[in-house]
Amino acid sequence: MTTPPAPKQRIQIAGPAGPLEVLVEAAQNPGAALCVVCHPHPQYGGTLDNKVVYTLARAANELGAIAVRFNFRGVGHSAGAFDHGVGELDDLLAVVAWARAAYPDRSLHLAGFSFGAAVALRGHVAADATSLLLVAPPAGMGYLDEAIAPRRPWHVIHGSRDELIGLDVLRRWLATVAGATPPLTVIDDADHFFHGRLTPLREAARAFWSQQMPACLDTTGGAD
């Protein structure tokens, strides 16, 4: 059986292209849910330390979940090279397999920001995720062209002023996969990176996860 790491620790696990860098923020609850968060595009500075990824992990951890962030291949201390979303999906599934071995018998929730949202969407069935949270998914950029409606409870969070993925483009994509009433929260006055709007982002993530995670213990919020 895989030994869980300390309450907050960067480790390396075996990945399909070599070691993968993983950051785990554990929880005190012995039955805590697992939440794996995927970072944005590796070729545009995306890492596990991205502030949106950090905010999502923090929101999950505040609710009593074990938050797992990781660097895709070729980022930080993860081996390999960018693989246009194909190898990155394999990376996600390797992290999920490790997390399930380290923390067995937990519900697992996937989240992703931008490029990471596309990877999470593509991997949620293979990962047997309980829920799926997509933040600023890259509609209209090719990564979601063959996407189908998720088979688990899911939600999308997007900024009203997203300069990379316009809200109208996102809504058209959602209509193709979710029908007339897509599960969407729009954060007012937020751009793609949620500059100055991390608090409402965290609150929206908590609102969704509080309905999905069976191990939500802490319902108090914190400050940015």
What are the domain boundaries of the chain?
Answer: 8-212
Pick the closest to residue 114 from 171, 208, 41 (CA basis): 41
Place 163 in a pLDDT band, splitting at 50, 70 and 90. Answer: very high
DSSP class per residue in 93-121: HHHHHHHHHHS-S--EEEEEETHHHHHHH
CATH classification (class only), 8-212: alpha beta
> Rounded to a whole number, what is the largest CA-CA distance in the chain?
47
Scanning the structure block, which residue is given the tokens 């930080």? Answer: 76
> Rounded to whole angstroms, how far apart are CA atoms 61 and 58?
5
| Segment 201-207 mean pLDDT | 98
Beta 34-38 vs 66-70: how paired, if at all? parallel
User: Which pLDDT belongs to residue 97?
Assistant: 99
CA terminus-to-terminus distance, the chain: 37
The pTM of this model reads 0.92
Percent of the chain beyond pLDDT 70?
92
- Pairing mode of beta strands 8-13, 34-38: unpaired
Separation of alpha carbons 209 and 109, rounded Å: 9
Q: 140-146 contacts: CB < 8 A, separation 24 or more?
A: 140/165, 140/169, 140/173, 141/165, 143/85, 143/115, 143/118, 144/118, 144/173
Predicted local distance difference test score (pLDDT) of residue 214:
67
